[in-house]
Amino acid sequence: MKYELDARRLFCPMPVIRTQDRVASLTEGDLLEVTCTDPGVKNDIPAWCRINGHEVVSIEESRGEIVVTVKVGKG
């Protein structure tokens, strides 16, 4: 399943916290598309994923918005 999360106008680490809390309710293999405006997420969400057993499938940037797609792992 694919889900979306709006983390625009939040500053790190808030987008990471929102991602973490949302991922907790998803199951392995689900995709979560997180839309952000703080460029810090390009480092922080991948770091959080590496640590906690999830995967960043893509990071796309356009018009000041960054969309990070996370694939939920075993956790």
Residues forming the active site: 12
Binding mask 25-54 for another protein (x = CB under 8 A): -------------xxx--xx--xx-xxxx-
Measured from the CB atom, the residue of 1 and 34 that comes closer to another protein is 34
b/e sequence 47-74, b meaning 16+ C-beta within 10 Å = ebbeeeebebeeeeeeeeebebbbbbee
Q: Can you name the residues that pair with 62 across neighbouring β-strands?
A: 65
Q: Which residues bind another protein (CB under 8 A)?
A: 9, 11-14, 16-17, 20, 38-40, 43-44, 47-48, 50-53
